Chains A and B, each alone.
Chain A
Amino acid sequence: MDTQDHHHHHDHHHGQDPPSDLALRVKALESLLVEKGLVDPAALDAIIETYEHKVGPRNGAKVVARAWSDRAYKARLVADATAAIAELGFAGRQGEHMIVVENTREVHNLVVCTLCSCYPWPLLGLPPTWYKSSPYRSRAVIDPRGVLAEFGLILDDEIEIRVWDSTAEVRYLVLPQRPKGAEGLDEEALAALVTRDAMIGVAMVAPPMAPA
């Protein structure tokens, strides 16, 4: 709890302009751009609506659930992820060139962008703050086990870790292991199990809750 409180504090106040000041600067810039006819305020609203409500990790979860349910789809997904993902209607900005890496009992994959914040937007939406933060970007490549431990994921030493540093316009999605106890679930129920963090590789997909 302490660390989370500290992080919250850090995000908002540590060593930067007070948020109200930034908010004012942004407001002034927007009104300038609108007055000069450089941006359409309704277009700004539409972009925000897209990434706040339409495009997010539920898209990626559908891809994962399909791969878990359909062997032929999974083969296509691993062979040509961009095309297989487009079959489900997901494509576009920051997902133009996709690679899917599969977790197994022997191999665990983890995605990072050490140089900036590259992330598969059409499948996961915009990246969370921690993904874009210096602590994650700096340490994911040198100490993946330590990083995963901070997310509460302790991997056996025998498991091979592959870290994918997104240095070009290729974007990576982790295909998590299907959890035990998920047999017989349909795609929608499977998709409901899949989390954003599991598709970045900082978590496993938890088994479904036993029916009450």
Chain B
Amino acid sequence: MNGAHDMGGMHGLGPIAPPANEPVFHHPWEARVLAMTLALGAWGKWNIDASRHQRELIPGPDYLRMSYYEKWLTGLIDLAVGAGLVSWTEVDSGRPAAASVRAHPPLTAERVAAVIGAGGPATRDVAAPRTFAIGETVRARTINPIGHTRLPRYVRGRIGIVERDHGVHVFPDTNAHGLGERPCRLYGVAFKARELWGQTAGARDSVHLDLWDAYLEPA
């Protein structure tokens, strides 16, 4: 979707102003939001693409206004309600419904190190066509899906060169919507900065993105 999150190339969003010696969390609640997001994810009710998309669905004005972990909190509640883990009544009251049966959390403290250490690889050991060769000139497709996509607007319609074959990866555009992983080939693609931004960009500079087969066409 062409949401506020797809902001590569925008101007006017303010200075970066990086602070010195920033703490990992600015407030204790931020740490709890991060931890609850990881721990509730262990129920396996949604995947990483669905959770990214949930945050993208935050209305644009709110998305730009909210702090990072406020977006995570909003997305987490929406996911948990959508998956039926909690109800809005419970979220609003902060108390379980009378009929609620106590569950057993899948992620216990003893398992945290192993789960974080294992991660969740996105590669799949399945055959998928290699449509494009390394060194081939390709064009990023002009598409405007209303659902989740990892093809940013700023490269759509632009010409690049395939420089790497990352293997076969889960396809976020379907996986985010419960339509299956549909693994397909993922490529590293290099775009000249001037192809993206015009003649004021650095002549030698480039921007590199990881793009799935379905995002590309021969140029």
Contact = CB atoms under 8 A, between A and B. Distances in A.
A76 interface: no
Interface stretch (A61-69, A144-152, A174-182, A185-193): A144-152
Interface in A107-155: 112, 114-117, 122, 125-126, 128-130, 132-142, 144-145, 147, 150-151
B107 A40 contact: yes
Interface in B56-89: 64-68, 70, 73, 76-77, 80, 85-86
A19 B64 CA distance: 17
A33 B150 CA distance: 31
A36 B209 CA distance: 42
B17 A150 contact: yes
Given A30-B32, A38-B43, A165-B152, A133 B16 contact: yes
A181 B20 CA distance: 25
Contact of A33 (B10, B20, B36): B36
A51 to B, nearest CB: 6
Given A44-B39, A126-B24, A138-B11, A27 B29 contact: yes
A104 interface: no
Nearest to A2: B17
Contact of A38 (B22, B32, B103): B103
Contacts of A10: 14
Given A22-B29, A33-B36, A135-B14, A163 B207 contact: yes
A32 B91 contact: yes
A112 B9 CA distance: 12
B24 A26 contact: no
Given A50-B116, A94-B119, A160-B205, A115 B152 contact: yes
Nearest to A158: B204
A35 B96 contact: yes
Nearest to A56: B24
A26 B73 contact: yes
Contacts of B206: 160-163
Given A47-B34, A141-B207, A129 B166 contact: no
B70 to A, nearest CB: 6
A184 interface: no
Contact of A45 (B43, B86, B109, B186): B109
Interface in B1-38: 5-11, 13-20, 22, 24-29, 31-36, 38
B163 to A, nearest CB: 10
A25 interface: yes
A88 interface: no
Interface string A74-113: 0000000000000000011111110100000000000010
B103 to A, nearest CB: 4
Contacts of A39: 36, 39-40, 105, 107
A130 B35 contact: no
Interface of B: 5-11, 13-20, 22, 24-29, 31-36, 38-40, 43, 48, 52, 55, 64-68, 70, 73, 76-77, 80, 85-86, 90-91, 94-96, 100, 102-105, 107-109, 111-113, 115-123, 150-152, 154, 164, 166, 169-170, 172, 186, 188, 190, 193, 196-197, 201-202, 204-212
14 contacts: A4-B17, A29-B77, A32-B86, A37-B102, A37-B104, A38-B40, A39-B105, A47-B116, A93-B117, A97-B121, A122-B119, A134-B14, A142-B154, A167-B152
Interface of A: 3-4, 6-8, 10-12, 15-17, 19, 22-23, 25-33, 35-40, 42-48, 50-52, 55-56, 91-97, 99, 112, 114-117, 122, 125-126, 128-130, 132-142, 144-145, 147, 150-151, 157, 160-170, 197, 202
Given A46-B113, A112-B8, 18 more contacts: A23-B29, A25-B73, A26-B29, A35-B102, A48-B35, A91-B117, A94-B119, A116-B55, A117-B68, A134-B14, A135-B16, A141-B9, A161-B206, A162-B207, A164-B208, A165-B152, A167-B151, A170-B186
